[in-house]
Chain A
Amino acid sequence: MNDWKPTASLNLLKQRAKMLADIRAFFAERNVLEVETPALSQAANTDPYIESFSLDSGQRFLHTSPEYGMKRLLAAGSGDIYQICKVWRDEEAGRYHNPEFTLLEYYRIGFSYQQLMQELEFLLITLLMLKKPANYSSYQQLFIELLQLDPHKADHSTLIDCARKNIPELEMGDESSWQKQDLLDVLLTHCIEPSFANDRLTFVYDYPVTQSALANIRGATQTEVALAERFEVYYGSVELANGYQELTNARKNAEVIETELHTRKQQQKKEFPKDAYFLQAMESGMPSASGVAIGLDRLLMCATGQKKIQQVISFPWGRA
């Protein structure tokens, strides 16, 4: 029996340590403060697509990201902050998924999300030692170029037809069980992500409002629908990071959480208590900021050319 042994080589453990040191040096240079917030808290993430682990005894949940806690610090006047921590998501393990993983999350006061994308590009290019600059595309542009449809305007049956035509391996089942967002997700993951250049970063920005989470929503204009000011970063087709122009309006934050709880109920998912401290912090006022969360295990995979996340984690899920 060799299952007690680590699945990551000693060399990879050293590379992980170096990556963490490089990240800390990057933020020290920019006067961004390293902070810690609770991993085990009384409220859980209400996002309907992310499941929290809960403790059997008493009402405590493992955090799925340090977002609520860090935003409470921002509201309390912390200034620019970052955190490197373990987070947990109750989902299946896979080639790119370990239910326990390491996240880098950071916030820049007064930054627009475009500014944050630029800074993040510099950080990631340094850590991945890339020679080429990143590609930038809006979510809409990608769908129009690759699938000839506007993701913000296409109706349910257009998306169903597009998925059937472009993803022959899809076992669709009952068409009515597919929400519009599910169809956009399957097209994104099966048709768009695989087309990304594999020798550079791709930034995708301006998402449908149905996927805004806690990102700011830019209202509709005469020429443009309302959009979530949110971005994702990929290296090749591997999703590395998710960032927002943060939603600072207290009432809108409360509405997002109510909507998420309502969706959870509709989808018959576990109902979680909402984070009252987070909502109180938003009431007291959060400064304008942009923030991003980066999956460090995947980043290490990409930096070292590993094919499975288990190769960069000492003891992955099955051996934890």
Chain B
Amino acid sequence: MATYNTSEFRNGLKFMLDGDPYTMVDNDIVKPGKGQAFNRVKIRNLKTGRTIEKTWKSGESVEAADVMEVEMEYLYEDGEFWHFMEPTSYEQHAADSNAVADVTKWLKGQELYQVTLWNGTPLSIVPPNFIELKITDCDPGVQGNTAQGATKPAVVETGAAIKVPLFVDEGEMVKIDTRTGEYLSRAK
């Protein structure tokens, strides 16, 4: 089993702790002038997303985690799993509901997603920052209303509820920032 010594600690290092995969977010050295050094590290649990702090005596090691980030195309959902495919190898991976929990409302066929694999299984999925989706439900545009910044609720094809300007109609394609869930513009 591969291990990492504290001298190899750096941001982004993927390792195992208490059976869960973690990534390092911040690593700092604490050392009394005449004494033992310690690594005080902020780490994020890749399953739960929770960030915690840990301290290791310098010289200790952690077990490496088999974690990879791969770009994959979303295929379909079968009721239990969400299926993704590596575009070059056509290799398919099934993600469970935990892995897609935060992203289901932005899942669209043939779109590319950043999939974090742990021991070959999808652990978490990050959508592209910007995505173009079709409006499937919203009130008709109101003629004559020119109020700046006025919005109305709308639902897009993936099921996400967003706010759009009054002039946007059902059936139109719009560009959305997935990090904020905000409407950006009409798509060309």
Contact = CB atoms under 8 A, between A and B. Distances in A.
Interface of A: 47, 49-50, 91-97, 167, 169-171, 173, 177-179, 181-182, 184-186, 188-190, 211, 213, 232, 239, 242
B54 interface: yes
A189 B30 contact: yes
Given A94-B28, A95-B28, A97-B31, A169 B36 contact: no
Contact of A169 (B29, B33, B53): B53
Given A169-B52, A178-B57, A242 B29 contact: no
Interface of B: 7, 17, 27-38, 52-58, 60
Contacts, number: 74
A47 B7 contact: no
28 contacts: A47-B34, A49-B31, A49-B34, A49-B36, A49-B37, A91-B31, A94-B27, A94-B29, A95-B29, A96-B29, A169-B54, A170-B55, A171-B55, A181-B36, A182-B36, A185-B32, A185-B35, A185-B38, A186-B38, A186-B55, A186-B57, A188-B35, A189-B31, A189-B38, A190-B38, A211-B34, A239-B33, A242-B34
A182 B28 contact: no
Contacts of B52: 169
Nearest to B52: A169
B55 A167 contact: yes
Nearest to B37: A91
Nearest to B60: A173
A21 B33 CA distance: 26
B29 A186 contact: no
A173 B18 CA distance: 12
B91 to A, nearest CB: 35
Contacts of A211: 34-35
A49 B54 CA distance: 22
